Amino acid sequence: MSMFSLAGKTALVTGAASGIGRASALLFAEAGACIVACDRADAVRETVEAIVAAGGEAEAVIMDAGDEDDVAGAVATAVSVYGRLDVVYANAGITGGLPEFFDTTAETWADVLRINLIGPFLAIKHAAPAIMRAGGGSIICTASVAGLRYGAGPVAYSASKAGVINLVQHACQSLVGTNVRVNAICPGLTETGMTKPLYDQVRAVGKEDRIGQLNPLQRGGEPEEIAAMALFLASPASSYVNGQAIAVDGGLSASHPVAPATQNAVKKALAQLKDD
């Protein structure tokens, strides 16, 4: 059996109507899992249709990832329809817009924390017992490079993602001896519905080549690249990975800010090597 196989498993994915959530649901299904695709957007049904059209099994659940009754109901649906729950990817999230620090309202904080931080907590709280009954499995949460340090997102969003990183550390210790692993993925700039306004704005002024220019790969990420990490964390391939926050960001978080002069010197040296 492939180390990346999810055959015979059931996976629940939130935020599955688009972007990273949809890409992950499709990839999990391709790896053999039955999928419970969850989102508050009706487009989640399109994700399910794509899985079924490819020969997989999937169920759509319209839900609010920050509502406890909805989360508990989604977990119950997974167990009722497929008899077990093995993997949960708590991926749903919002930015709360891009307000400056002192323009950020308490209402924005409440909205962002409810979806981005309370949502993953509820997913862990309600999914862990079901996963334990299945003999163990994996819970994955979407954090962000914005949760690692300043400079990758607005204040409420960044703080919520820092909270997700601490949450998975706390959760994995609270689940000691259960064979339930909890990890986080920290994506860098990735083209999704959430980042579409930024991508559209940059493309409109003909500066698409500036996207991702601060990371060593000098490009933005694709949802499928984040989904690949999610599959790794969902699968037996990561059986000894627990309580970690793994950056998938083209190398952005590998460095402190570098002065342009230093970057230019590196580029000059690389050019010289090519000439030689």
Known catalytic membership, residue 157: yes
Tell me which of 89, 157, 199, 240 is the catalytic residue. Answer: 157
Nearest in space to 200 (alpha carbons), one of 173, 172, 227, 220: 220
- Of the CA atoms within 13 Å of residue 234, those in its CB half-sphere come to 35
Beta bridge partner(s), residue 142: 185
Catalytic residue positions, numbered: 157
